[in-house]
Structure 1
Amino acid sequence: MSESSPLLSGSSAVSTTSVNTRGKFGPQRTSFTNQKLKILPQGPETFEDDEQETPAEVYSQLRQITDSVARKDAERLGKAHRKLLPRVTAYCTAGSYRMNELNRYLSGRTANHAEPKLIDECLYTPYTYLRPGEEPTTGPTRLTDEGGEIDTSYRRSDLFIFQYGVVVMWGFRQDEEQRVLQELARFEREKLAYEDVHVEEFNYYITQSYQPRIYNDFFALRDHNYMTKLSISHAIAQSAKISLFEELVDNTISDTQDFPLEIAETGKIDMSRRDIMKSIGELFILRVNVNLHGSVLDSPELMWAEPQLEPIYQATRGYLEISQRVQLLNTRLEVVNDLLQMLKEQLGQVHGEYLEIIVIVLIAAEIVVALINVIVDVYAQE
């Protein structure tokens, strides 16, 4: 079996100058390659009014956008606008963060206007870098003459740091994201190598012209409320972490896929007892790591305490196909479990063969001793 995953054994620190070009972009979901729409509820006071527009399962393409203004913006939004609109980026860089130390550090970053708040397993803070020479923008703008008004005057950036090793950044420039990662690196546990960092990229804008939605990885929001961003960030962070789990499980299955064929052809695995024990240990560690992060795969506790955030979180979770991916992940973990059981049986067989050899050697030694005694007795009688 190949060397264990960086998440399991620990590896070199994240190279903050290379994360953006070396990291793995995009999860294993259809929205990464196909345009997709998901309506975001506006809140408990408006959710019932929009019931006809937001059924339980809204999962459609551009043709399903009936609002003409929203449709015009959706048609216009494309790759060129990703450099113009604010970014939403998630980085999975470690197994976990040391949250208490990180909270104390951010509390002292008054120059960045940091005001950290620990909300369950997430540490939220506004975090702004000085941008010398940048001219402030004021007032609304439009993507098209017939499109909606978009507010571009807001300049505060928001940081959401999740205990399980994912940071979600709203409104940062690409170079600023690298600065944030560099600052957070000292608080990481089980750092991932830069080539194993998982990255999710989106864009967002603020508009009052139509209902909030996600289309083609663009978030349209009504305001800059950090609790709304928090509910969306929970789903994005989960998606980034699940992407890491998906890769770990896929690599493990790929590394061990020849084991069943070898057993079918020869009746055993051509591995030493030590190698079998190492493989069992790696498979077991993988299962433990995924199961210990069970909160990543389920709804966060915040949704119980703040039920008004649940519809927004679930809509984003549906867009990112988290439920389907978790189900597939569990299926693959069952394959890993089968491999683990198979290696245990092989180990038992090897151990049994070893004991048989010992018994045979002892019997042979006893026979040799008996023959020697007989020869000695014969010579003694002569």
Structure 2
Amino acid sequence: MSRNAQLPTHRPRATRGPSGSTRPVTARRASVTSLSGPKAQRTSKTSQKLVVLPSAPQTKPLREDLPDGESDTHDYHAGYETDGGVREHKSAGERMSKADRKKAGFKRITAYCVAEGFKMKQLANFLHREHNVLPRVFDEALYVMYHLPLLPGYGPNSNIRSSVPSHIPGRKSLLSRLSEAEENGYQDTYFAAPDIRSPTSVRDGYMSSGSPVQNRLPLRRDTQESEAEGDENGQERTRGEEPPERPQARKEDEIAEIIFFEYGVVVFFGLLEEQEREVLEDLENAGVIKRPIKEDDWEIEECHFAQDPNISYPRIYNDFFTFKSPSHLLKLSVAHALAQSTLLAHYESSAIAVLSSPLTLSIPKQLATDGSLKLARRDALRLTGRLFKLRRDVNLVSNVLDTPELFWSEASLGELYTAVREYMEIEGRVKVLDEKLVVANGFLDAIHDHLNNSAMERITWIIIWLIVVAVLVEMGEVVARLVVHATTANQLQIARLATAPISRESALRTLERMMAAP
């Protein structure tokens, strides 16, 4: 989908790791900016759509008290309206373009559709052995956490590997905290509290905003988030208070995350473009890719994200994700929706390529002008196979239409996954793709009629020629019988004459004539 990534076309001459060792020079993939061909676009890439993750329903939102001298028009241009009607101010990252975010150093969320599938067991073994990581399996997804900075790989076929996590005595490791977070489930502040309202929460028919933090925090149980889900750093700021400074990330918690999906999509969190390409090269060298897609046909979805513990709730705006905590379960939910959107974009591009090919476009033109198709049987069968494969991938094999098993077993993540799917407009895009497949069905019907008519015409001509051959054979047989009959009659006459008896008188007369002859 996204083609804004500016990836280097050549690998640097040498890469120097912390130990001072250099890496040999190897070939480099081409930049993704050179990928050509028509690509389908979702409207949320350009319309600056906002989706709260998720937003609570409101009856009548409270109006923000504007500071003295500030007009409502200025506040409108400084922010946006949420689904609940509450006005929020855009952050710096949300106001930037993707190019500006890249210059500002915002972390990336990038999804690549590079193959029709991965060999998940071999992939997990390879990552554990060569990248020094511990993959975690979530049904059809493989979650991997890399400690930064990334180091050079162990062997010539491995570009990178994870750093060794530092250990602080008396503090649990990140893996232990991940396990605890998975046992406790996702408990971030977007998740609605029990539906209990105090008299102070309703004023003159107005409900407080959809933020579950500012208005429902006193009603929540006094429990602390696990260390893996992030640190709340006290109560949330209220109106009029200055936002507290962002807590500095602990050095041992500087991580990047990669989520591999069985259907051939990889989602990166917090890696640079060069590092993402190195990981993809490692996958290709390891032989864990099933039926890879040509690089020109890769689908790439590029977004950015930031973490802000002071926001009311996580949200997406202008392809910019703002998370409240560094929860790996939250990122896993986002990755599922983003991967499905990228896979759907691959199918959209395939549909456009098939339906806009010269061979396909010639079908209605030939029917309109000649009333028949002048299409070779081989070309017709190839086009039929491509259309059938597209229909099968979307409706039977694809994971785009299915809710992953993770969200049936982990209900707290379902609303977040649904909200990201809504932002990516997956449901609407699937309907549009189905309409294109209906057009493909019309092409299939025309091709089938053409093949059937061609087959019947061929069979008819075969029967005609067989009849002609049979007539010729019969005529030849009649002529042969006449010739044989005539030849046989002459031979019988000669034989009859040769075998006739001669009398004595006839013989003597014959001898006399012969002797009397001079």
Contact 1:107/1:115 (8 A) holds in 2: yes
Partner of 2:58 in structure 1? 52
Q: 1:81 aligns with which of 101, 117, 123?
A: 101
Q: If the length of structure 2 is used for normalisation, what is the TM-score? A: 0.61
Contact 2:148/2:254 (8 A) holds in 1: no
Q: 1:200 aligns with which of 298, 301, 323?
A: 301
Q: 2:89 aligns with which of 64, 67, 70?
A: 70
Partner of 1:124 in structure 2? 143
Partner of 2:9 in structure 1? none
- Is 2:362 the counterpart of 1:258? yes
C-alpha deviation, 1:328, in angstroms: 1.0
In structure 2, distance between residues paired with 1:120 and 1:381: 88
SS of 2:90 mapped into structure 1: helix
Q: 1:191 aligns with which of 288, 292, 303?
A: 292
Contact 1:246/1:329 (8 A) holds in 2: yes
Seen in structure 2, the aligned counterparts of structure 1 residues 36 and 53 have a Cα distance that, compared at 3 Å, is farther
SS of 1:296 mapped into structure 2: coil
Partner of 2:45 in structure 1? 32
Seen in structure 2, the aligned counterparts of structure 1 residues 67 and 293 have a Cα distance that, compared at 3 Å, is same
Number of aligned pairs? 345
C-alpha deviation, 1:155, in angstroms: 2.1
Partner of 1:44 in structure 2? none
C-alpha deviation, 1:238, in angstroms: 0.6
Contact 2:94/2:317 (8 A) holds in 1: no
In structure 1, distance between residues paired with 2:354 and 2:60: 40
Paired AA for residue 442 in structure 2: D
Q: Deviations over 1:318-361 (max 9, x none)?
A: 10100001111112122222222321221111110111111110
C-alpha deviation, 1:129, in angstroms: 4.4
C-alpha deviation, 1:374, in angstroms: 3.7
User: Which aligned pairs between 1:293-308 and structure 2 lie closer than 5 A?
Assistant: 293-308=397-412
Partner of 1:105 in structure 2? 126
**Which piece of structure 1 moves more, 61-70 or 328-337?**
61-70
- Is 2:112 the counterpart of 1:91? yes
Paired AA for residue 29 in structure 1: R
Partner of 1:221 in structure 2? 323
Contact 2:108/2:304 (8 A) holds in 1: yes
Q: If the length of structure 1 is used for normalisation, what is the TM-score? A: 0.81
Q: Deviations over 1:275-327 (max 9, x none)?
A: 32232223223322333433233221111111110111111101010000111
RMSD over aligned CA atoms reads 3.1
SS of 2:80 mapped into structure 1: helix
In structure 2, distance between residues paired with 1:21 and 1:223: 33
Paired AA for residue 217 in structure 1: D
Q: Deviations over 1:19-76 (max 9, x none)?
A: 53334798520122221111013xxxxx7xx443999xxxx99531576763354664
In structure 2, distance between residues paired with 1:22 and 1:152: 38
User: Which aligned pairs between 1:1-382 and structure 2 lie closer than 5 A?
Assistant: 17-23=29-35, 28-41=41-54, 50-52=56-58, 62-65=79-82, 70-71=89-90, 73=92, 76-79=95-98, 80-83=100-103, 84-109=105-130, 111=132, 114-130=133-149, 153=249, 155-185=254-284, 186-210=287-311, 211-255=313-357, 256-379=360-483
Partner of 2:15 in structure 1? none
C-alpha deviation, 1:254, in angstroms: 1.2
Structure 1 residue runs of 5 or longer lacking an equivalent are 1-14, 42-46, 133-139, 141-145
Paired AA for residue 260 in structure 2: I
Contact 1:126/1:158 (8 A) holds in 2: yes
Contact 2:137/2:143 (8 A) holds in 1: yes
Paired AA for residue 45 in structure 2: F
Paired AA for residue 201 in structure 1: E
SS of 2:41 mapped into structure 1: coil
C-alpha deviation, 1:266, in angstroms: 2.1
Q: Whose helix fraction is larger, Structure 1's or Structure 2's?
A: 1
In structure 2, distance between residues paired with 1:26 and 1:345: 31
SS of 1:331 mapped into structure 2: helix
Paired AA for residue 189 in structure 1: K
Contact 1:151/1:207 (8 A) holds in 2: no
In structure 2, distance between residues paired with 1:232 and 1:318: 11
- Which one scores higher on RCO, CA 8 angstroms, separation ≥ 6? 1
Identity of aligned residues (%): 32
Q: Deviations over 1:114-138 (max 9, x none)?
A: 2211101000010234258xxxxxx
Paired AA for residue 375 in structure 1: V
Paired AA for residue 296 in structure 2: E
